[in-house]
């Protein structure tokens, strides 16, 4: 079971960390998504910071399991909010979202089962 927990958590941390970096450096893809859902660019740094905190929290969960569980749960909630924002904007392109959401959900589920 540890192997599944390790793989799911590392994948979620890598995906979320890359999304955080893209937000924090002002990459074009997060900007285009912000345009689609009507989020101002001023939210890019706070949202990127939340993603970075989630990715680091997942990794810290290897040392402090409760922290990893809370980070995974926070990321799941973050991506549920992103889903709601896309629905509100009538955007139905959920391919990338599903990858981030399901990896965070897998990290949460395997973490809860393992610990």
Q: Given this model, what pLDDT does residue 1 score? A: 86
Position 72 confidence tier, pLDDT thresholds 50, 70, 90: very high
pLDDT of 30 higher than 90: yes
The share of the chain scoring above pLDDT 90, in percent, equals 96
Residue with tokens 């997060």: 30
Return the CA Rg of the chain: 14
DSSP 44-86: HHHHHHHHHHHHHHHHHTTTSHHHHHHHHHHHHHHHHHHHHHH
The two three-digit tokens of residue 98, written as one number? 């599903």
Q: Does residue 76 contact residue 101 with C-beta atoms inside 8 Å?
A: yes
What CA–CA distance (Å, rounded) separates 5 from 33? Answer: 30
Q: Given this model, what pLDDT does residue 56 score? A: 98
Question: If you average pLDDT over every residue of the chain, what do you get?
Answer: 96
The share of the chain scoring above pLDDT 70, in percent, equals 100
Distance of CA 89 to the CA centre of its chain: 20
pLDDT tens digits along 82-113: 999 999 999 998 999 999 999 999 999 999 99
| pTM summary value | 0.95
Write down how long the chain is: 115
Longest CA pairwise span in the chain (Å): 42
């Amino acid at each position: 079971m540890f192997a599944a927990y390790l793989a799911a958590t590392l994948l979620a941390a890598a995906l979320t960390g890359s999304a955080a970096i893209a937000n924090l450096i002002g990459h074009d893809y997060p900007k285009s998504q912000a345009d689609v859902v009507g989020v101002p660019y001023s939210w890019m740094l706070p949202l990127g910071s939340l993603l970075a905190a989630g990715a680091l929290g997942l990794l810290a969960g290897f040392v402090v399991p409760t922290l990893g569980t809370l980070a995974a749960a926070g990321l799941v909630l973050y991506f549920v909010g992103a889903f709601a924002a896309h629905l509100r904007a009538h955007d139905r392109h959920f391919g990338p979202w599903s990858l981030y959401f399901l990896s965070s959900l897998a990290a949460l589920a395997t973490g809860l089962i393992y610990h």
